[in-house]
Chains A and B, each alone.
Chain A
Amino acid sequence: EVQLVETGGGLVQPGRSLKLSCVASGFTFNNYWMSWTRQAPGKGLEWVASITNSGGSTYYPDSVKGRFTISRDNAQNTLYLQMNSLRSEDTATYYCTRAHTRSYFDYWGQGVMVTVSS
């Protein structure tokens, strides 16, 4: 059974940093691209970052480019999202997702809440 378990969320002040982690199990982690997608409270979904299966390439939308960094440790089956210079508009539930290249997301974690507020 595929499982994605996110940790690391919480309350953080604007301008500060936070790092999310996602431990994957139930599949061969290094065979798949992985992504992060977020959902602001009561709002829709927004793709945040993707990384190739080897970790050699990463992709971001303009809204987070230069502030967020996606990475992975294939030996530990773990995906990360380093979030710097956080803004109030980054407040959301962040989902770790297994991706079919830069296409669709076939498994989602339960999500972790990030609140950016002073």
Chain B
Amino acid sequence: DTVLTQSPALAVSPGERVTISCKASESVSTRMHWYQQKPGQQPKLLIYKASNLASGVPARFSGSGSGTDFTLTIDPVEADDTATYFCQQSWNGPLTFGSGTKLEIK
């Protein structure tokens, strides 16, 4: 199975730019997707196919990457962005998710 590796946690101040990384154990082409999960809520799709903004998602969110290295960028960060962010691949075998990056807004 394709393993997706994410940093466990990040802390940034409002107004800053934050990048959240996701590294795949093998190429997933551009079939990488990003979700936001706020405490006590279901996940929400942010970015699909590496760089496409999902419907209703603010333009502060963007995604990039291909192959094995992907990035979710939030610029500027707002207090409401406190959440865990998951990447997910759909190129190889069973669909797999990263373990999530918990974003704290200082």
Question: Please, what's the 1-or-0 string for B41-74, where 1 marks a CB less than 8 Å from any CB in chain A?
Answer: 0111100110000110000000000000000000
Bound CA span A103–B94, Å: 10
Please name all residues of chain B whose beta carbon is closer than 8 Å to the beta carbon of A44 when the two chains form the complex.
Answer: 86, 97-100
- List CB contacts (< 8 Å) of A90-113 with chain B: 95, 100, 102-111
B33 within 8 A of A: yes
Please name all residues of chain A whose beta carbon is closer than 8 Å to the beta carbon of B35 when the two chains form the complex.
Answer: 45, 105
Please name all residues of chain B whose beta carbon is closer than 8 Å to the beta carbon of A45 when the two chains form the complex.
Answer: 35, 43, 86, 88, 97, 100
Please name all residues of chain A whose beta carbon is closer than 8 Å to the beta carbon of B100 when the two chains form the complex.
Answer: 44-45
B90 within 8 A of A: yes
Contact assessment for B43 and A103 in the assembled complex, using a CB-CB cutoff below 8 Å:
no
Bound CA span A88–B59, Å: 41
Contact assessment for B97 and A100 in the assembled complex, using a CB-CB cutoff below 8 Å:
no
The interface size of chain A toward B, counting residues with CB under 8 Å, comes to: 19
Q: Which of A62, A102, A106, A109 contacts B90 (CB 8 A)?
A: A102
Please name all residues of chain A whose beta carbon is closer than 8 Å to the beta carbon of B95 when the two chains form the complex.
Answer: 47, 50, 61, 102
A89 within 8 A of B: no
Bound CA span A111–B42, Å: 7
B96 within 8 A of A: yes
Please name all residues of chain A whose beta carbon is closer than 8 Å to the beta carbon of B43 when the two chains form the complex.
Answer: 45, 95, 105, 108
Bound CA span A104–B46, Å: 11
Q: Which of A62, A104, A110, A111 contacts B33 (CB 8 A)?
A: A104
Bound CA span A61–B54, Å: 26
Please name all residues of chain B whose beta carbon is closer than 8 Å to the beta carbon of A110 when the two chains form the complex.
Answer: 42
A73 within 8 A of B: no
Q: A44-B98, A61-B94 are in contact. Are A106 and B42 (CB under 8 A)?
A: no
Bound CA span A26–B9, Å: 36
User: Which of B31, B33, B42 counts the most chain A CB atoms within 10 A?
Assistant: B42
Contact assessment for A62 and B45 in the assembled complex, using a CB-CB cutoff below 8 Å:
no
Q: A45-B88, A103-B33, A103-B90 are in contact. Are A108 and B42 (CB under 8 A)?
A: yes
